[in-house]
Amino acid sequence: MDRIKIYTNETCPYCVQVKEMFEKENIKFIEKVTSKNVEEYQKIVNLTGIPTVPNIKYKNEYFIPGRDFKTLDQLLGIIKNYQKSNYSQTRIILEKVKTLNYNEYVQKEYATQEDEVVSTTLNGSHSSTVATLTLTSTTGLDTSGTVHIAGEQVTYTAISGNDITGCTRGANSTTAETHSSGVTVTQFEGGGVPRQIVRTPDNNYLLYPYPDKQYTLAFDYYTFPSDLSAHGDTTSVPDRFGPVIVDGATAYVYMYRGEQAHYQLNFQRFEDGIKNMQSLLINKYDYVRSSMITRPGSSMNFTSGVVT
């Protein structure tokens, strides 16, 4: 069984119960006290978005009480009959990918990751069950290790000519697939789940670290709408904001007619509408709301509370 990591703190009674259950079931684990592993734990919080203990890491998945299990028995069932977190690891990562400036990407020498990739191709098609893969070249590959083919990882034990042998298909929780001839095969170290995205000077995009398997990247983007020219043209603006466009157009009509009072009134409504659209459609903030009910104080004072 893979070694379990449990992140705890000194004042968490539920952490104690989880550790006692693991010891009773003879399940080996490594305890990580958050106050002594601040940077490591902060990365996990950034990843999951939930600053909760105990946080159990098993098979590169994070299991959190309330989200993935509600009782000790449910947690024990997850460990003994491994099932993935209810909250997809891929989804967590995609929500937390951060942008990185290209100059910083170069200065930190992240760009060298591209030089550490050995690349070749499949020579012939291969089914999802064969244990020997024939490549166009094995130059640069480790004598044993792991290669990446599309979304599949394949571990192998030896190299013979241009063949990698003793293959285990669908390794590291990936899915074994049938591959066509000419499909790219890569090998690299230091890859992982992408945490940062970089826009290059030529308007391409890079991910860091180098993806260790196939991921789906979801993103929002802005486009320039087509100009309206005919009376029947429709805008790409949501219908509920149609009056905002009308206010803007009306304001400019009044401006050209020299009716400044009406222009200023309509243009102010137009600007207010644009700000409202920005708030509802673009500016998406994470709000922290207190669920604490404070005890009323005197009319001249406010009570303090704790944000939960």
150-163 pLDDT, tens digit each: 888 899 999 999 99
CA distances to 40, 80, 142, 169, 244 from 214, rounded to whole Å, are 25, 27, 22, 15, 43
Tallying the residues shown for the chain, one arrives at: 308
Per-residue pLDDT of 180-207, as tens digits, reads: 999 999 988 767 777 788 888 888 888 8
| Mean pLDDT value across residues 56-65 | 86
Beta strands 163-165 and 133-134 are antiparallel
C-alpha angle 186-188-194 in degrees, rounded to nearest 5: 100
More confident residue, 9 or 94: 9
Mean pLDDT of 69-84: 85
pLDDT at 46: 74
User: What pLDDT is attached to residue 163?
Assistant: 96
- Are the C-beta atoms of 52 and 9 separated by less than 8 Å? no
Question: Buried b / exposed e across 199-212, counting CB within 10 Å, b at 16+?
Answer: eeeeeeebbbebbb
Burial of 31 (C-beta count, 10 Å sphere; 0-12/13-18/19+): middle
Query: At residue 125, does pLDDT exceed 50?
Result: yes
CA distance 5 to 28: 9
pLDDT of residue 290: 41
Q: Bigger pLDDT: 83 or 149?
A: 149
pLDDT at 298 (0 to 100): 41
